[in-house]
Structure 1
Amino acid sequence: MNLRLELLGPPVIQINEEAVNLPRRRSRALLYYLAAAGAPQSRDHLIALLWPNLDEPRARHAFRSTLYQLRRTGLPIEADRETVHFSAHAKVWVDVTVFRQGVARLCAPTDPVVTGPMALAQLTELAALYRGEFLEGFYLNSLNYEEWLYLEREHWRGAYLDVLERLIEAQIEAGHYLQALNTAQQALATDPLQERFHRAAMRLLAWLGQRTEALTQYERCVQILRDKLGTAPLDETEALHRAILEGKVVPPIGTPGAGGPAGERWPAPGCPSPFVGQRSGHWVLSEVLARAESDPTPVVMITGEPGVGKTRLVQEVLAASPVITIWGTAHP
């Protein structure tokens, strides 16, 4: 038996690719909780969660009846004297489990999927799992269950936004600026109070040559924060706004195209050949230079083995910057 449960968005239940309809709300609530937990759950805990207002005999009777209804529908749920769990013989696919495992894999420093094209593909797949709010549209007349629902929704919304932030970084690393902008706007549609995504959209719009739109994005951020929270943007957002006004926000590598990989990279003026890699370092140095007028104190040290492109990285950044530069060489 293959059981598929989608909890990120309107819930979906399928057995062997066929939709399953569970008319009783508490039957669905129990199934969703077991799927989200990903581990056996104690009977007492489930009874307290689903029937907090019933006395113990009635609550236990309702629990047994709910288990019977789930098994009768064909769901692979087993129970012993202490716990309830999915059958070990069934293949159970749950989107939150896949999401959780994917994030854990991306956090493993030795995994090859952490960086490069594989990371971009993995992050794109993870983001696609989030179809909407956790158990969107579902509720239960139980204070305990509703509290759990609230916490889970906050957790998965935050996890999704963190994935989108990493996806934006990966898209920028690959030179896909327009895709990164779309991802930033997708994040803001989920939570418009997240300044990190307003800044990402502002920066990407400026890189794409859409200065007016970048400034409009800033104004939108100001208005949302004022209307919803009664606060002003962070200093980091204000600094980026000033840099855009002064024309100091330039893309890491020339000016990107509008879509995918093709045509999105070409060298900045003065550089004889395309520059590939080092985008993260390029971004950091560009931001330091953009803030040089208001904050002239930063010192940046670039280290690495000979031939990895340290000098070329600096040349690329300075070729696209109006800052006057003094070069020097130190000899031991």
Structure 2
Amino acid sequence: MAVTECPAVCGDAPPALRLRLLGGFHLSRDEGGGQVGVSASGQQLLALLGLRGPATRSVLAGTLWPDVVEERARACLRTAIWRLNEASPAVVDARSGALALGGHVRMDIQDFTATAHHVLAASAEGTGAACSSLMGMGELLPGWYQDWVVFERERLHQLRLHALEALSARLVAQEQYAPALEAALESTRIDPLRESAHRAVVTVHLAENNLADAVRHFKVFRKLLRTELGIEPSKQFLTMVRHALA
């Protein structure tokens, strides 16, 4: 992975850049939308800085090149920085002693996490936009299997699930049952064995008095658990359905 020391830039400020990590790596210029070609090492460096924020050269070199000696890892890092700034000046900021993304780089991860935390903060505003954002996002850097990517992918996966379930509950409270069901079903799609996601689906059905749909969904989930894990749904879930039928 390659990134280079950020040379001083004269004249006009560099154009704004968009860094997309959800659904795959993509770096483009806002003006004109042209894609910026980045080496594999440069992609990894930008992704690491984007996901974890500013870091020292030692940390970055050790994370990106864990299987080589430190001197060689630092040399790889210097090359990566140089190649990156050849492709797009000031995409990496090295002026503070640590490396960071340039201030003109905007990330899709920023937009996603802001939306997710907005939903989890129990704000009733912007639920429609939140639903669209959370439903449409892709997986973080599919096809990347480095340990730090796997960790960040799981972190964002869990954040998305919690946000979808919270959004579904918020929409039920607002009696917006169609988008509430859509959000709940999306959470079951991305994690089919997650009980809280299936409870969210049943909650929507019960709120609409669709008892048959609620029971049918519960039975499908119970069969899935038995088949895949050899276990039963929780007593909480079973009690929830029995109480609705009482």
Query: TM-score, normalized by length of structure 2?
Result: 0.83
Instruction: Find the counterpart in structure 2 of residue 53 from structure 1.
Output: 67
Higher relative contact order (Cα pairs below 8 Å, separated by 6+ residues): 2
| Among candidates 4, 17, 21, match of residue 7 of structure 1 | 21
Instruction: Find the counterpart in structure 2 of residue 65 from structure 1.
Output: 79
- Contact persistence 1:126–1:163 (CA under 8 A): no
Q: 1:239 to 1:81 in 2, by over 3 A?
A: closer
Partner Cα distance (1:119, 1:219) in 2: 34
Instruction: Find the counterpart in structure 1 of residue 188 from structure 2.
Output: 188
1:83 aligns with 2:83: no
Partner Cα distance (1:232, 1:62) in 2: 51
Instruction: Find the counterpart in structure 1 of residue 45 from structure 2.
Output: 30
Q: Give 1:218's aligned amino acid.
A: F
Q: 1:100 to 1:233 in 2, by over 3 A?
A: same
How many residues were matched structurally? Answer: 229
Partner Cα distance (2:22, 2:189) in 1: 16
Instruction: Find the counterpart in structure 2 of residue 156 from structure 1.
Output: 156
| Among candidates 119, 124, 128, match of residue 131 of structure 2 | 124
1:117-162 deviation line (CA, Å, top 9, x unaligned): x15245325515x6222112234xxxxxx22112111110110011
Residues 180-329 of structure 1 mapped to structure 2, 5 A cutoff: 180-244=180-244, 246=245, 248=246
User: What is the identity percentage for the equivalent residue pairs of Structure 1 and Structure 2?
Assistant: 25
Partner Cα distance (2:243, 2:117) in 1: 36
Q: Which runs of 4+ in 1 moved over 4 A?
A: 103-108
Partner Cα distance (2:187, 2:158) in 1: 10
Query: What is the CA-CA distance between 1:219 and the residue it aligns to?
Result: 1.6
| Among candidates 22, 27, 35, match of residue 19 of structure 1 | 35
Q: 1:175 to 1:103 in 2, by over 3 A?
A: same
- Contact persistence 1:168–1:180 (CA under 8 A): yes
Runs of 5+ unmatched residues, structure 2 = 1-14
- Contact persistence 1:7–1:95 (CA under 8 A): yes
- Contact persistence 2:22–2:139 (CA under 8 A): yes
Runs of 5+ unmatched residues, structure 1 = 109-113, 140-145, 249-332
Instruction: Find the counterpart in structure 1 of residue 6 from structure 2.
Output: none
- Contact persistence 2:169–2:200 (CA under 8 A): no
- Contact persistence 1:205–1:213 (CA under 8 A): yes
Q: 1:102 to 1:199 in 2, by over 3 A?
A: closer
Could you say which structure has the larger radius of gyration? 1
Q: Give 1:131's aligned amino acid.
A: M
Partner Cα distance (2:143, 2:230) in 1: 30
Q: 1:53 to 1:182 in 2, by over 3 A?
A: same
Q: 1:105 to 1:202 in 2, by over 3 A?
A: closer
Partner Cα distance (1:191, 1:104) in 2: 20
Larger helix fraction of residues: 2
Q: Give 2:114's aligned amino acid.
A: Q
1:261-294 deviation line (CA, Å, top 9, x unaligned): xxxxxxxxxxxxxxxxxxxxxxxxxxxxxxxxxx
Partner Cα distance (1:2, 1:21) in 2: 15
Please tell me the root mean square deviation across aligned C-alpha atoms, in Å.
2.3
